[in-house]
């Protein structure tokens, strides 16, 4: 595949806040710490070294989690390296989407792996471990229960309102059968069928199944898949949990930042709660709210006095789940992390949290925009070549693109305004002569002119339609290209799953991404196969 890049700003798919961040606009400087360049990473390594984490506990927990997985040599080495003070993590997070969910999950993981490798080259005295932080505590089942494949929605039917990591993955059996039928019987399809069956049918829950799947796809590159919902690790976060639940001091800090962003014209991604925590168990993930002197769990009969809640936090913090506001601080408390790799939406809400991190004395990581990728296969590449469209034009609205194409390929614009003007002059002269003979003839001449103009306009319309008809095949091709590359007017990576690409390219698809993606490059990546001759 050939690699091309276009500026994020020309795609029309990225919020102004992120465009200004990657452009290092002074307008955004107050909302982040170090910028993702070599100088910024050097400073981040130095400052992060002053805030140690419990490395022994972290390595022990991850080692224990990997007892269930076939650990690659590179991943095993990375887990061991976590015990060394010179090692830092590069982290990305994602929900437990079935069959990996949208294609950008793969882009996000590869971006994280490649950034860790890049940092090792730039700072050889340190080690950098790529981490996939599984969002096992999220409970929005409707967001993770489906994929789009070949124009069909493959969906896991069910009603679950508790942490996704607890869900019995064997409930996917009928969905896997449907998926297998759609994938067909090719060699690559057989590989995926075996992979999905082993992941979901041979593991007890969605957390273990997702860990297996991610490890099988990316383990050879040293990725460390991490389940953060662990009682021992959450005990490291007990002071912050108490501050959040009893003093509720973080919400005002985020709200203040939100007001600053709003005043600058930026869209705010997340609004905080007074208490940014849930209570979780095998049956629920429900918000904790203050109600007078007690703390209640919404949609349940559970409630706690301050003393009871304090005891729960100290002994069983496993039951306390941070929401999207508090979770980043938990991550940075238990990992020796220097960078977070995420999409535009994720980085937008991270930019809301810097003041909160500073107030809590927690290290604020460097924010790195993951690679966004458009993959164009040989067939589509050939069609694009025939239309003569540029890669930048592909991101435009389909109707605008069609009009531009017709305009560019028409020898001259069909416009009969000149002819209408000449006829109007002729009729004006006729009207003048007629009115000298009989003043009452003037309106009749005007009526004749109006009829003549209408006839010309009808002819003009027919000429335009005839001109457009000449391009009907090309116009249909353009619309087909847009529908394929931007399904539902969305980016390919946000709609499609990785399966079609794996069926076509096999394991080489992930290797191709690995070879081409660099999250420190400031551009949208297009991978274009050579068109068929």
Distance between CA atoms of 5 and 457, rounded to whole angstroms?
Answer: 45
Secondary structure of residue 222 in the 3-state scheme: coil
pLDDT in tens, the chain (533 residues): 899 999 999 999 999 999 999 999 999 999 999 999 999 999 999 999 999 899 999 999 999 999 989 999 999 999 999 999 999 999 999 999 999 999 999 999 999 999 999 999 999 999 999 999 999 999 999 999 999 999 899 999 998 999 999 999 999 999 999 999 999 999 999 999 999 999 999 999 999 999 999 999 999 999 999 999 999 999 999 999 999 999 999 999 999 999 999 999 999 999 999 999 999 999 999 999 999 999 999 999 999 999 999 999 999 999 999 999 999 999 999 999 999 999 999 999 999 999 999 999 999 999 999 999 999 999 999 999 988 889 999 999 988 888 888 777 765 566 778 787 888 888 888 878 887 888 887 788 788 888 888 887 888 788 777 776 777 888 888 999 999 999 999 999 999 999 999 999 999 999 999 999 999 998 999 999 876 55
Burial level of 489, CB count in 10 A (0-12/13-18/19+)? exposed
Provide the residue ranges of all domains of the chain, joining segments of one domain with +. 12-237+327-372, 392-490
Task: Tell me how far the alpha carbon of residue 73 is from its chain's centroid.
Answer: 30
Pair of tokens at residue 287: 């918000």
Distance between CA atoms of 398 and 484, rounded to whole angstroms?
Answer: 12
What strand order describes the sheet that includes 87-94?
Answer: 224-226, 127-134, 87-94, 337-342, 366-369
Secondary structure of residue 46 in the 3-state scheme: helix
**Model pLDDT for residues 241-275, shown as the tens digit of each residue:** 999 999 999 999 999 999 999 999 999 999 999 99
Instruction: Render the burial of 352-384: b for 16+ CB within 10 Å, e for the rest.
Output: bbbbbbeebebbbbbbbbbbbbbbbbeebbebb
Q: DSSP class of residue 82?
A: T
Q: What are phi and psi of 53, to 5 degrees?
A: -120, 170
CB 372 within 8 A of CB 41: no
Which among 3, 14, 50, 7 has a CA at the least distance from the CA of 342? Answer: 14
pLDDT in the model for residue 293 = 93
CB 514 within 8 A of CB 113: yes
Query: How do 303-304 and 294-297 pair as beta strands?
Result: antiparallel
Tokens 């600058």, located at residue = 264
Distance between CA atoms of 88 and 83, rounded to whole angstroms?
Answer: 10
CB 373 within 8 A of CB 493: yes
Distance between CA atoms of 492 and 496, rounded to whole angstroms?
Answer: 6
pLDDT in the model for residue 230 = 96
Helices (H) and strands (E) in the chain, counts: 24, 15
Distance between CA atoms of 12 and 15, rounded to whole angstroms?
Answer: 8
DSSP 263-305: HTTPPP-----SS-EEEESSS-EEEEEEETTEEEETTSS-EE-
Look at the alpha carbons of 323, 325, 327, 333 in this order and tell me if their dihedral is positive or negative: negative
CATH architecture of 12-237+327-372: 3-Layer(aba) Sandwich (3.40)
**Model pLDDT for residues 37-52, shown as the tens digit of each residue:** 999 999 999 999 999 8
Q: What are phi and psi of 279, to 5 degrees?
A: -100, 130
Distance between CA atoms of 271 and 463, rounded to whole angstroms?
Answer: 55
Which among 363, 368, 369, 367 has a CA at the least distance from the CA of 336? Answer: 363
Secondary structure of residue 516 in the 3-state scheme: helix
**Which helix (H) or strand (E) is 155 found in, with range?**
strand 152-155
pLDDT in the model for residue 412 = 57
CB 237 within 8 A of CB 243: no
3-state helix, strand, coil split of the chain in percent (to 5) is 55, 15, 30
Distance between CA atoms of 69 and 200, rounded to whole angstroms?
Answer: 14
In Å, the largest CA–CA distance within the chain is 109
Distance between CA atoms of 277 and 242, rounded to whole angstroms?
Answer: 11
CA distances from 247 to 150, 244, 333, 382 (A): 51, 6, 19, 61
Which among 478, 513, 285, 455 has a CA at the least distance from the CA of 395? Answer: 478
């Amino acid at each position: 595949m050939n690699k091309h890049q276009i500026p994020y700003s020309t795609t029309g798919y990225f919020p102004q806040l992120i465009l200004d961040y990657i452009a290092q606009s002074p307008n955004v400087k107050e909302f982040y710490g170090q910028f993702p360049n070599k100088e910024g990473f050097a400073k981040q390594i130095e400052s992060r070294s002053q805030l140690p984490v419990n490395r022994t506990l972290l390595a022990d927990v991850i080692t224990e989690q990997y007892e269930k997985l076939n650990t690659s040599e590179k991943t095993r080495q990375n887990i061991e390296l976590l015990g060394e003070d010179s090692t830092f993590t590069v982290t990305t997070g994602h929900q437990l989407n079935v069959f990996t969910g949208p294609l950008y999950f793969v882009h996000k993981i590869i971006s994280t792996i490649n950034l860790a490798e890049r940092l090792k080259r730039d700072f050889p005295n340190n080690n950098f471990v790529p981490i996939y932080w599984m969002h096992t505590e999220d409970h929005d089942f409707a967001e993770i229960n489906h994929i789009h494949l070949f124009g069909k929605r493959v969906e896991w039917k069910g009603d679950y309102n508790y942490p996704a990591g607890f869900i019995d993955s064997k409930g996917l059996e009928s969905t896997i059968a449907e998926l297998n039928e759609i994938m067909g019987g090719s060699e690559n399809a057989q590989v995926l069928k075996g992979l999905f069956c082993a992941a979901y049918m041979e593991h007890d829950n969605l957390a273990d199944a997702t860990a297996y799947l991610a490890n099988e796809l990316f383990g050879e590159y040293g990725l460390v898949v991490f389940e953060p919902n662990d009682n021992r690790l959450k005990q490291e976060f007990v002071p912050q949990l108490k501050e959040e639940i009893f003093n509720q001091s973080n919400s005002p800090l985020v709200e203040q930042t939100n007001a600053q962003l709003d005043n600058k014209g930026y869209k705010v991604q997340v609004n905080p709660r007074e208490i940014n925590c849930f209570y979780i168990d095998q049956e629920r993930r429900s918000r904790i709210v203050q109600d007078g002197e007690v703390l209640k769990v919404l949609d349940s009969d559970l409630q706690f006095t301050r003393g009871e809640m304090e005891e729960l936090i100290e002994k069983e913090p496993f039951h306390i789940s941070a929401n999207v506001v508090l979770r980043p601080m938990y991550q940075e408390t238990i990992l020796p992390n220097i960078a977070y790799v995420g999409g535009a939406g994720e980085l937008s809400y991270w930019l809301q949290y810097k003041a909160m991190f500073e107030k809590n004395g927690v290290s604020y990581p460097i924010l790195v925009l993951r690679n966004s990728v458009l993959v164009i296969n040989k067939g589509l590449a050939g069609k694009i070549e025939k239309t003569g469209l540029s890669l930048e034009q592909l991101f435009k609205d389909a109707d605008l693109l069609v009009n531009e194409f017709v305009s560019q390929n028409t020898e001259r614009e069909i416009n009969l305004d000149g002819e209408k003007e000449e006829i109007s002059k002729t009729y004006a002269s006729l009207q003048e002569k007629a009115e000298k003979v009989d003043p009452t003839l003037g309106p009749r001449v005007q009526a004749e002119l109006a009829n003549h103009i209408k006839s010309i306009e009808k002819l003009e319309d027919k000429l335009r339609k005839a001109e457009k008809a000449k391009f009907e095949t090309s116009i249909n091709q353009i619309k087909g290209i847009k529908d394929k590359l931007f399904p539902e007017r969305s980016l390919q990576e946000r709609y499609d799953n990785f399966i079609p690409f794996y069926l076509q390219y096999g394991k080489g698809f992930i290797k191709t991404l690995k070879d081409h993606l660099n999250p420190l490059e400031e551009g949208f990546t297009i991978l274009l196969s050579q068109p068929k001759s």
